[in-house]
Amino acid sequence: MEEVLVTARRKVESLQSAPISVMVLDGEKLQRYGIQSVEDVSALAGGGVMMSREGTQPSLSIRGISADTTNPGFAQSVGLEVDNVFYDRAEFIIPSYLDIGSVEILKGPQAMYFGKSTVAGAIVIHTNDPTPEFESNIAVGHEFSAKQDYVEAVVSGPLLDNLNGRLALKWSESDGWLKNEAPPFAGEDWDASKEVIVRGGLAWAVADNLNVTFKSQYSEVSDDGPGTRTQAVFCRGPALGGTEITGIPSDLRVLGAAYEMTDNCKIDNKVSVYPAPPGLDYANKVYGDWEFWTNSLVVDWELNDNWDIAAITGYGSYSEKYETGLAASQGLISVHMKKHKYETISQELRVSSNFDNGLNYLFGGIYSSTDLERYADAQLFLNLPDPVTGSHNSTTSRTKSEEETVSVYGELTWDINEALTFSIGTRYTEVDLDVIRELHFVNGWFDIIGLNLWKPAGWAVNPKVKTDNWSSAATLQWTFDNGSTAFASYKEGFKPGGISITSMPNADDELADYLFDEETVDGFEIGYKGFFFDQRMSLDVIAFAYDFTDTQVNLYQPDTASFVVTNADGAETIGVEVGIGWQASQHLNIRGNATYNDGSYQDFFVECYLFQTEQQGCNPDTQLQNINGKSLPRAPEYTFGLSAYFDYPLANGANMDISIDTTWSDDFHTTVTNDPLFIQDSFWKVNAGVGFEDADRNWRISLMGRNLTNERVISSGVVRAQTTDGLVNVLRERTVTLEVRRFF
């Protein structure tokens, strides 16, 4: 079998020898299936890995552990590293990362090597480096369901004797794969997008032992605004007290044809995204605009045969502006995001050794600083002009946060003998968060009619949250003569505490209602990675058990249509993952995987789901339920996957390859409250691709399909504010892409 290399432990090692749970997708496989974004990667990842665009930011979930999708000030459970620079904000998965060398999906806590915000795992993206030999290619493609056209181009090669460069470009535009049913947009394509990406790279061999690599990517993304995949479903209207699913929405808007609710209340490719109500000077035509910039500078100095020093400088930023009536809100909730900007800068210094005496070291430190500012107008339920200003806004708010993180780490690796290796390490992290929340304006009509939902205009708070944490890891590894490996490891991790920055300041809330504590995790993994039949077959078996303390969860408050992050007592994940690889012949490779994962909450009280009875666990006096032992969202108990790659040389010297990838998922809950209305049933997904290359390998024609079974899968659900209807976020349906690529 072909050797696969990973860098999950800050060194290059074989996938089969690395004592961790990791899935690797190389650039060739990503290209065979037309993978163009991190979100698309989950189509191949399987094993309880889910990545999706929803709410106001994406969702990243591994083994049922995920983070809030409505709070941009909220650190993720799954970290993202792009070209050695770490980001803990999910927004950075929105742009495409073209010309990818590999994607590593690491499962389980990764604090020792990556730091905070990796309690569930990490996604590591390596883009292709500049090459000393000239190479270039250009591709033109069309995706049929969203009517997407795109062009990609890559050129790489030497610029000077010791300086290589690489340039990658992409342009993409799609009409969208959804249909908007709401007037005046009825019948329009929805979830449309435009994207322009430019990435440049330089690799400078300063000396035989000193190399400098710089990469910079700029992206512009335009779409139909946040939440465009949200659908009204399972409607129980028109009576607010009705429990029977009727398909008739309980629409609270003013009667009239202009506001007729047309959503068909079932999961399909139809949504209802309304414009803002009359009088509002924004969100009459919804849109979203993003700009991203990621930069990495890596200096690698082999001091001598025994020491290597790496210095990594990173800068990343994104900015967003949007106007929207928010999907399925009937325009009752309209938002104008005037400014949403995030910037982060980091500097890491890493030192590692390579001694022959059996003892080796890794130590280093990192400093990072981030700034976030959001300034927004919102219209919530009330469309009346303010008596003083005449503004139809409900509120105008501003949030600004500054965060500084300092982290130092060290690890000792001891080769006890030729077969047995023990490593132990720890990382200390200190996070200082300074937040300013201000409410600049509140419509006077709320006070006039006695509907005092919010704090008064001029309300402001300035909380400061400090988190410090020690996260340790230890691994005992046994290597057999044939290259097989057995290991046992203990790991810890954490997410820092913070404040809910997007929830509206409700009138009765105190500052403490918005603050949440740090989340910690610790647990064990035991695994075996073996080779058989002259290394033509591989078998991986990994068992894991992790306990999460003060689990950060996102709770929806229907009365005010807002989300607040709080802490559950805890959660746990216990399971087994099995992977099999078989190089059946020179031209046929087969892989399979299966997972069992029992992800559940520990003792934790949350609000009852709508119409939950006392017999179903709802306390009628407090309207709370204890979800101890109940399933985590997006945590299927069983998953299964099987893939095959067949590479066949044709008689005339040309080549054909066929890829097929199938995944099956058990059913799973999509809400914290375990509302049975929002259970995703079990499903099969099938991805496939076929490619042809000419004899000289100058041309490649590919036909690629994902989710060919056209499964409609939901990733989250809530009850729509002030109604009995359900809202769900739907993942992409079937995609079929035809691509022609020319190599030079």
Residues facing residue 437 across a β-bridge: 399, 461
Nearest to 97 by CA among 54, 41, 140: 41
Residues facing residue 420 across a β-bridge: 478
How many helical (H) and strand (E) elements, i.e. helices and strands, does the chain have? Answer: 4, 48
Alpha carbon 532 to its chain's center: 35
Per-residue pLDDT at 27 = 87
DSSP secondary structure string for all residues of 679-717: EEPPEEEEEEEEEEE-TTS-EEEEEEEESTT----EEEE
Per-residue pLDDT at 388 = 92
Q: Which of 67-81, 343-357, 458-472, 589-603 has the lowest mean pLDDT?
A: 67-81
Per-residue pLDDT at 329 = 64
Per-residue pLDDT at 39 = 77
In the chain, domain spans:
5-743
Residues in Cβ contact with 702 at an 8 Å cutoff, skipping those fewer than 6 apart: 31, 32, 34, 689, 690, 691, 692, 737, 738, 739, 740, 741
Instruction: List the end-to-end C-alpha distance of the chain, in Å, as a whole number.
Output: 29
Per-residue pLDDT at 256 = 42
Per-residue pLDDT at 70 = 67
Q: Does position 240 have pLDDT exceeding 70, yes or no?
A: no
Mean pLDDT in residue range 331-353: 92
Q: 3.40.50.970, 2.40.170.20, 3.40.50.2300, 1.10.1660.10: which CATH number matches 5-743?
A: 2.40.170.20
Greater pLDDT, 495 or 68:
495
> For the CA atoms of 26, 32, 36, 42, what is the dihedral angle to 10 degrees?
-70
Q: Does position 331 have pLDDT exceeding 70, yes or no?
A: no
169-203 in b/e form (b: 16+ CB < 10 A) is: bbebbbebbbbbbbbebeebbbbbbebebebebbb
Mean pLDDT in residue range 590-610: 91
Per-residue pLDDT at 160 = 94
Per-residue pLDDT at 258 = 44
Per-residue pLDDT at 254 = 42
Q: pLDDT tens digits for 117-176?
A: 999 999 999 999 999 999 999 999 999 999 999 999 999 999 999 999 999 999 999 999
Q: What percent of the chain has pLDDT over 70?
A: 93
Return d(Cα 120, Cα 546) in angstroms, integer. 10
Greater pLDDT, 271 or 186:
271
Q: What is the residue type of 678?
A: F
Q: pLDDT tier at 259 (50, 70, 90 boundaries)?
A: very low
Q: Which of 202-211, 442-451, 730-739 has the lowest mean pLDDT?
A: 442-451
Per-residue pLDDT at 652 = 87
Q: pLDDT tens digits for 74-86?
A: 678 999 999 999 9
Nearest to 206 by CA among 298, 72, 319: 298
- What mean pLDDT is reported for the chain? 89
Q: Is 594 helix (H, G, I), strand (E, B) or coil?
A: strand
Q: pLDDT tier at 41 (50, 70, 90 boundaries)?
A: confident
Residues in Cβ contact with 657 at an 8 Å cutoff, skipping those fewer than 6 apart: 32, 645, 646, 647, 648, 690, 691
Mean pLDDT in residue range 408-420: 96
Per-residue pLDDT at 293 = 96
Whether the Cβ atoms of residue 713 and residue 683 lie closer than 8 Å to each other: yes
376's tokens: 């927004």
Per-residue pLDDT at 649 = 92
Per-residue pLDDT at 257 = 41
Return d(Cα 742, Cα 744) in angstroms, integer. 7
Q: What percent of the chain has pLDDT over 90?
A: 60
DSSP secondary structure string for all residues of 383-395: ----TTT----SE
Whether the Cβ atoms of residue 92 and residue 292 lie closer than 8 Å to each other: yes
Pairing relationship of beta strands 464-479 and 485-495 according to DSSP bridges: antiparallel
Q: What is the DSSP letter of 96?
A: -
Looking up tokens 């949403």 gives: 340
Q: pLDDT tens digits for 202-228?
A: 999 999 999 999 999 999 999 888 878
- State the burial class of residue 218 (Cβ atoms within 10 Å of its Cβ: 0-12, 13-18, 19+): middle
Per-residue pLDDT at 576 = 97
Q: pLDDT tens digits for 88-113?
A: 888 888 888 889 999 999 999 999 99
Q: Which of 64-68, 285-289, 490-494, 658-662 has the lowest mean pLDDT?
A: 64-68
Q: pLDDT tier at 238 (50, 70, 90 boundaries)?
A: low
Q: pLDDT tier at 57 (50, 70, 90 boundaries)?
A: confident
Q: pLDDT tens digits for 496-529?
A: 998 887 666 777 778 887 788 999 999 999 999 9
Return d(Cα 735, Cα 733) in angstroms, integer. 7
Mean pLDDT in residue range 731-735: 91
Q: Does position 260 have pLDDT exceeding 60, yes or no?
A: no
Greater pLDDT, 334 or 641:
641
Per-residue pLDDT at 302 = 94
Greater pLDDT, 75 or 299:
299
Q: How far is CA 201 from CA 31, 99, 295, 478, in A?
A: 20, 12, 10, 39
- Residue 727 CB coordination number (10 Å): 24
